[in-house]
Amino acid sequence: MKSQKTILIYEMKKEKEEKVLTICRKRQITVRKVQLLEYAQSLGSLARISKIPQNRTKDSGTLLGEEMMVFSGMDTNEIDSFLNDYKNMGISPVELKAVLTPYNIFWNSRQLYEELQKEKNRFHQAGHTVLENKPV
């Protein structure tokens, strides 16, 4: 699987999106704003991973109702550097963050969202607060 550095963003307000784009331009990271009709596509397809086919299904559901970010083609140091810049710019945190993996590459956006919500709920039930800058 060939992959370029990409961040998929979901339901981000324009001002915040512009700040993310500023960081990504500096770091040569592609940003892909995922549209509602694309929520049925696999994460790998959305991240433009070679050999991951695009399915023709269009999502007809509702918006997730929460921001989400998915990191693809980036190693831990690159993600940490991005998140450090993000924090230093004073951008409000996105609670739902994930890294594209062989395990979730064929999931669609709603499947990832549901899994991240479950993890967030377990984390809160355990009495923890959500980490501001670490994807799961």
pLDDT of residue 121: 86
- With respect to residue 57, please indicate whether it lies within any of the assigned structural domains: yes
- With respect to residue 71, please indicate whether it lies within any of the assigned structural domains: yes
- With respect to residue 105, please indicate whether it lies within any of the assigned structural domains: yes
pLDDT tens for the 136 residues of the chain, in order: 456 999 999 999 999 999 999 999 999 999 999 999 999 999 999 999 988 877 777 887 889 999 999 999 999 999 999 999 999 999 999 999 999 999 999 999 999 999 999 988 888 788 766 554 555 5
Query: How far lies 19's CA from each of 22, 129, 132, in Å?
Result: 5, 25, 17
- With respect to residue 58, please indicate whether it lies within any of the assigned structural domains: yes
- With respect to residue 131, please indicate whether it lies within any of the assigned structural domains: no
pLDDT of residue 2: 53
d(CA 7, CA 5): 7
Domains identified in the chain, total number = 1
- With respect to residue 133, please indicate whether it lies within any of the assigned structural domains: no
Residue 98, strand partner residues: 70
- With respect to residue 35, please indicate whether it lies within any of the assigned structural domains: yes
Residue 27 structure tokens? 């770091």
Element (H, E) at 87: helix 76-88
- With respect to residue 31, please indicate whether it lies within any of the assigned structural domains: yes
Q: Which domain holds residue 92?
A: 6-125
pLDDT of residue 73: 96
